């Protein structure tokens, strides 16, 4: 099923998301490319993509460029390997479609269950609780999607918090699998639905940003910030952790799976706290400056010297035309200010 998600993602990108993006006039061009330079290209590909100060000074003498121009060349060279805005829009549209579908499915399913309104019902008759077909489908689809994210994170857009997202995917896949094997699926469905709520708004905010609908993007990001913080720092500990830490222990006593399950849930809460800090910081900037600030985990590097368009020779009268570097590189992160993940 994870491979099916890969297939559907590719089809969606090509035949649905891309036409929509072009219709909304989303830019297909990527970051500005660095001008060709054989010496710097050799260092970049064979030695390092992030030269230290000593190497920068050596290259500066060899090329008769100032250090800032060389730094800018390496930054642009790194950025040109990043995906275009069109590619990012297609990725967000695919994830938005999935999150909207699975969240709607989860809400419709849980409305008919007694444990939505009374979490103690999660433990009635445990572990001999029947696995309903709707619940089984919900779990398999969610697990398959997160497995697909595990595979695709190595080829998708790389972010500054790649390590944290990798940890999150590991914990999520482990939690879903462990709860399925141990039949802790009732509380699992509550956790899944709660997490999907914020992701729908996040992907919508990213699409609005890529379409350059700044006011809509800002509004959606602030909405996402509220939904994320309320659901992850409010409802999650008071609703999910309360029933797994206390009500489960009261109903069934102590058993090994209880502690493993709760350790994974607490790790998830620690990640929630970290992301909430980033979101609150971005939301504060949005309110104080009247717009959402730049994404702290933007996939495009930027610098204060972006206004310079050609490398300056250390010798005032020297001209360099073949080894120069191009102009400013744009920044376009997950959100023009949204500091949180994809995926959760």
Token pair listed for 315 = 């010798």
pLDDT, one tens digit per residue, over 128-147 is 999 999 999 999 999 999 88
d(CA 159, CA 341): 9
User: Which of 51, 81, 111 is the endpoint of a domain?
Assistant: 81
- Percent of the chain whose predicted confidence (pLDDT) is above 70: 72
Q: What angle do CA 227, 232, 238 make, to 5 degrees?
A: 115
pLDDT, one tens digit per residue, over 54-87 is 888 888 888 888 888 888 888 888 877 677 777 8
**26 burial via Cβ count (<10 Å: 0-12, 13-18, 19+):** buried
The predicted structure's pLDDT at residue 309: 38
d(CA 179, CA 181): 6
Per the structure, how many domains does the chain have?
2
pLDDT, one tens digit per residue, over 228-270 is 999 999 999 999 999 999 999 999 998 889 999 999 999 999 9
Q: Would residue 325 count as lying in a domain? A: no
CB 200 within 8 A of CB 113: no
Domain coverage including residue 61: 32-81
- Which pLDDT band, with edges at 50, 70 and 90, does 305 fall under? very low
**210 burial via Cβ count (<10 Å: 0-12, 13-18, 19+):** buried
d(CA 231, CA 48): 42
Statement to judge: residues 172 and 222 lie in one domain? yes
Q: Would residue 340 count as lying in a domain? A: no
Q: Would residue 40 count as lying in a domain? A: yes
d(CA 337, CA 146): 25
Q: Would residue 227 count as lying in a domain? A: yes
User: Which of 59, 81, 103 is the endpoint of a domain?
Assistant: 81
Q: What is the CATH number of the domain that holds 65?
A: 1.10.10.60
Q: Would residue 91 count as lying in a domain? A: yes
User: Which of 292, 313, 334 is the endpoint of a domain?
Assistant: 292
Statement to judge: residues 97 and 126 lie in one domain? yes
Statement to judge: residues 49 and 108 lie in one domain? no
Statement to judge: residues 73 and 188 lie in one domain? no
Statement to judge: residues 268 and 248 lie in one domain? yes
Query: Which pTM was predicted?
Result: 0.73
d(CA 81, CA 33): 9
Statement to judge: residues 62 and 184 lie in one domain? no
Statement to judge: residues 75 and 89 lie in one domain? no
Statement to judge: residues 140 and 263 lie in one domain? yes
Statement to judge: residues 136 and 284 lie in one domain? yes
Statement to judge: residues 54 and 108 lie in one domain? no
Q: Would residue 110 count as lying in a domain? A: yes
**257 burial via Cβ count (<10 Å: 0-12, 13-18, 19+):** middle
Q: What mean pLDDT is reported for the chain? A: 78
Statement to judge: residues 74 and 111 lie in one domain? no
Measuring CA to CA, how many Å separate 9 from each of 106, 145, 148, 165, 262?
Answer: 21, 11, 10, 20, 33
Rounded mean pLDDT, 6-31 = 59
d(CA 169, CA 190): 18
Statement to judge: residues 47 and 119 lie in one domain? no
- Percent of the chain whose predicted confidence (pLDDT) is above 90: 40
The predicted structure's pLDDT at residue 160: 66
- Least trusted range by pLDDT, from 6-20, 94-108, 143-157, 322-336: 322-336
């Amino acid at each position: 099923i994870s491979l099916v998600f890969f297939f559907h993602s590719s089809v969606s990108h090509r035949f649905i998301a891309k036409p929509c993006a072009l219709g909304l006039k989303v830019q297909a061009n990527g970051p500005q490319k660095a001008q060709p330079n054989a010496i710097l290209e050799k260092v970049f590909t064979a030695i390092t993509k992030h030269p230290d100060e000593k190497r920068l000074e050596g290259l500066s003498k060899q090329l008769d460029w100032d250090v800032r121009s060389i730094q800018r060349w390496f930054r642009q060279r790194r950025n040109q390997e990043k995906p275009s805005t069109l590619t990012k829009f297609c990725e967000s549209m695919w994830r938005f479609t999935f999150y909207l579908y699975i969240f709607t499915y989860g809400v419709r399913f849980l409305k008919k269950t007694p444990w939505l309104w009374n979490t103690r019902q999660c433990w009635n008759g445990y572990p001999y609780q029947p696995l309903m077909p709707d619940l089984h489908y919900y779990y398999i689809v969610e697990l398959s999607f997160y497995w697909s994210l595990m595979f695709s994170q190595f080829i998708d857009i790389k972010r500054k918090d790649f390590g944290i997202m990798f940890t999150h995917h590991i914990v999520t896949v482990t939690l879903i699998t462990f709860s399925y094997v141990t039949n802790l699926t009732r509380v699992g469905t509550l956790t899944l639905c709660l997490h999907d709520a914020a992701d729908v708004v996040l992907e919508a905010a990213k699409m609005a940003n890529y379409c350059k609908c700044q006011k809509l993007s800002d509004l959606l990001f602030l909405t996402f910030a509220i939904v994320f913080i309320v659901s992850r720092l409010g409802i999650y500990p008071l609703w999910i952790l309360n029933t797994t830490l206390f009500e489960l222990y009261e109903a069934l006593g102590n058993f090994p799976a209880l502690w493993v399950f709760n350790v994974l849930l607490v790790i998830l809460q620690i990640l929630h706290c970290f992301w909430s800090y980033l979101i609150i910081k971005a939301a504060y900037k949005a309110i104080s400056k009247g717009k959402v600030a730049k994404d702290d985990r933007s996939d495009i590097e930027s610098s204060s010297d972006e206004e310079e368009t050609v490398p300056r020779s250390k010798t005032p009268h020297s001209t360099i035309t073949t080894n120069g570097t191009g102009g400013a590189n744009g920044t376009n992160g997950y959100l023009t200010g949204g500091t949180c993940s994809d995926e959760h």
